[in-house]
Amino acid sequence: MNNHSIYANEELKNWTERSGLLKQEQYLIEKYIRNEGILIEAGTGGGRISLEVHDKYPNIKIVAFDFVEEMIKSAKLKSNEINFEVHDASDLSIYDDNTFDAAIYLQQIVSLVPEEFISCVLKESYRVLKKDGIVIFSFLSYSGRKINLIVSFLVNILRILRKEKWQTQRLPWLKLSNKVNFKFFTKNQATTYWFYEKEIIKILEDIGFTIVETKCDNMIYVVCKK
């Protein structure tokens, strides 16, 4: 199982039926997004965040993409004023360098990416952003979920017994479609990557971003400037 298949199946309804913004999302969007220029949203799902941004800031041209076609089909039914497209965040070669004034990578899209592509996804976000452009990220926080220590220990003991690699911060889904995923400790489960704040800040700075603001609750929110 992989995250593409989870979002095309078990989590499809969950993310196409949502509306409104979370408190942190609203705070960051109101603070950093201006009613002008061109914005890209990565992992838009059913378009929830882009639809809210469009309502609030009708002058912004919005491109919103997701790698699950079914998500984009559902988003397109909600608005024809936003350009909803199917792309993988690791390959935005369809867009030139320095195209966008702002980017939104919320709801932990980067945590869903296989480890070997994380750097590529972040570099693509940097590449397509204009100089002084702003990007709002959120990441799953390893220390923001108390049971991670015990889950990680159990899952990794089983990985070792199966002669697999120990990966402390790469954990299987504990819930799917809002129900407990009892198979979470079995082989070949889809996983998500849970960051430490210092770790992700260093990765972003190494890529070239300037950190403008960070906020941590059970997620790590990071606003960066190119």
Ligand X SMILES: C[S@@+](CC[C@H](N)C(=O)[O-])C[C@H]1O[C@@H](n2cnc3c(N)ncnc32)[C@H](O)[C@@H]1O
Residue closer to ligand X, measured from CB, 3 or 152:
3
Residue closer to ligand X, measured from CB, 132 or 178:
178
User: Minimum distance between the CB of residue 174 and ligand X, rounded to whole angstroms?
Assistant: 14
User: Minimum distance between the CB of residue 45 and ligand X, rounded to whole angstroms?
Assistant: 3
User: Is beta strand 175-176 parallel, antiparallel or unpaired with respect to 179-180?
Assistant: antiparallel
User: Minimum distance between the CB of residue 46 and ligand X, rounded to whole angstroms?
Assistant: 6
- Cα–Cα distance between 198 and 208 in angstroms, integer? 15
* Residues 163, 164, 170: CA angle, nearest 5 degrees: 155
Torsion region of 204: left, alpha or beta (phi above 0 gives left; psi -120 to 50 gives alpha): alpha
Residue closer to ligand X, measured from CB, 46 or 133:
46
Q: Which residues bind ligand X (CB under 6 A)?
A: 3, 7, 15, 18, 42-45, 48-49, 66-68, 71, 88-90, 106-107, 109, 112-113
Residue closer to ligand X, measured from CB, 44 or 158:
44
Give the count of alpha carbons within 13 A of 221, CB side only. Answer: 18
User: Is beta strand 38-42 parallel, antiparallel or unpaired with respect to 61-66?
Assistant: parallel
User: Minimum distance between the CB of residue 27 and ligand X, rounded to whole angstroms?
Assistant: 15
